[in-house]
């Protein structure tokens, strides 16, 4: 039932109704036509128990192991990127306190007393002139866009500092010497040293700095990497279009981790 929720973007109430009403849903759950689905409160308590024992992470790892066994995951390279996940449980009224700018080197921690209706684990982020309140999901995929690892943080965490934590979420072992592709937001001396330490090729997009524009070679390098790197964006699009991702369904960062 939890998997059906993720795949079809259903609430606890909705998935209960669908399992009781749909033969294909009840068959998938291993139920006979005479059986009644567990109610929404039972499903909620079950999810909380799985969150505490980190069972969803182990399930994700098990699924990827099966994909690897059947040669569906081909480890010739990896791509990393982040997307913002908004929560509907946001503060009401005007935003009049500090907000982290996307791609900022500095993470602004804002301690504020919110109403009980607000998700207090979430934080503010300003991206392309728009305010977001929620989380960031960092996805690590293979060259075809299949997800190999997911890291969930608050929205105000900057991307440069999290690459090692993202790599630690890998559910498969990477061969030495394959390239890691990422946009210029991950370009830093620390990340370059990290990839060297992990024996991964540095295919992070080159970034121009003040009084030092990109060279002709660096522009060509970025263009070549972009031909593969875009596939992680396709993964984000698929998650939002087919699995109703992009919006946090549950309260708190621990349960937000469950939603890829």
pLDDT in tens, 41-73: 999 999 888 888 878 778 877 887 787 777 776
Share of the chain above pLDDT 90, in %: 23
Distance in angstroms (rounded) separating the CA atoms of residues 20 and 34: 9
- pLDDT higher than 90, residue 16: yes
- pLDDT at residue 249 greater than cutoff 70: yes
Which range, of 13-17, 86-90, 112-116, 202-206, averages the lowest pLDDT? 112-116
Segment 219-240 mean pLDDT: 86
- Spatial CA neighbour of 67 closest among 140, 171, 187, 167: 171
pLDDT digits (tens, 9 = 90+) for 96-142: 556 666 655 555 555 456 787 888 888 888 887 888 899 999 998 88
Distance CA(254)–CA(54), nearest Å, equals 9
Q: Give the confidence band of 28 by pLDDT, cuts at 50, 70, 90.
A: very high
Which pLDDT value is given to residue 105?
54
Residues 6+ apart with CB under 8 A from 78: 140, 141, 142, 143, 148, 174, 178, 179, 180, 181, 200
Average per-residue pLDDT for the chain:
84
pLDDT at 36: 93
Q: How far is CA 8 from CA 24, 57, 66, in A?
A: 13, 20, 23
- pLDDT for the residue 9: 79
- Nearest-angstrom CA–CA distance, 98 and 106: 12
Tell me which of 225 and 96 has the higher pLDDT. 225
For 165, the token pair is 């934590």
Q: Which range, 23-27, 88-92, 129-133, has the best average confidence (pLDDT)?
A: 23-27
pLDDT value of residue 176: 87
In this prediction, what percent of the chain has a pLDDT beyond 70? Answer: 90
| Global pTM value | 0.70
């Amino acid at each position: 039932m939890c998997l059906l929720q993720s795949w079809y973007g259903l609430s606890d109430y909705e998935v209960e109704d669908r399992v009781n009403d749909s033969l294909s849903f009840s068959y998938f759950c291993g139920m006979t036509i005479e059986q009644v689905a567990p109610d929404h409160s039972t499903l909620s308590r079950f999810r909380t128990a799985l969150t505490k024992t980190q069972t969803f992470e182990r399930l994700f790892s098990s699924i990827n192991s099966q994909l690897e066994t059947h040669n569906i995951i081909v480890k010739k390279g990896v791509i990393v990127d982040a997307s913002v996940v908004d929560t509907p449980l946001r503060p009401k009224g005007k935003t009049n306190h500090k907000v982290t700018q996307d791609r900022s080197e500095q993470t602004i921690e804002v301690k504020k007393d919110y109403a009980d209706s607000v998700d207090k684990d979430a934080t503010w982020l300003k991206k392309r002139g728009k305010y977001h309140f929620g989380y960031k999901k960092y996805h690590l995929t293979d060259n075809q866009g299949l997800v190999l690892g997911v890291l969930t943080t608050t929205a105000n965490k900057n991307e440069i500092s999290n690459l090692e934590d993202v790599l630690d979420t890998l559910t498969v072992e990477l061969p030495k010497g394959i390239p890691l592709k990422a946009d210029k937001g991950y370009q830093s001396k620390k990340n370059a040293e990290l990839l060297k330490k992990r024996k991964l090729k540095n295919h992070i997009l080159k970034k121009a700095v003040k009084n030092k524009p990109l060279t002709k070679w660096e522009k060509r390098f970025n263009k070549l990497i972009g031909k593969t790197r875009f596939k992680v964006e396709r993964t984000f699009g698929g998650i939002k279009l087919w699995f109703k991702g992009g919006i946090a369904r549950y309260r708190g960062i621990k349960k937000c981790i469950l939603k890829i």
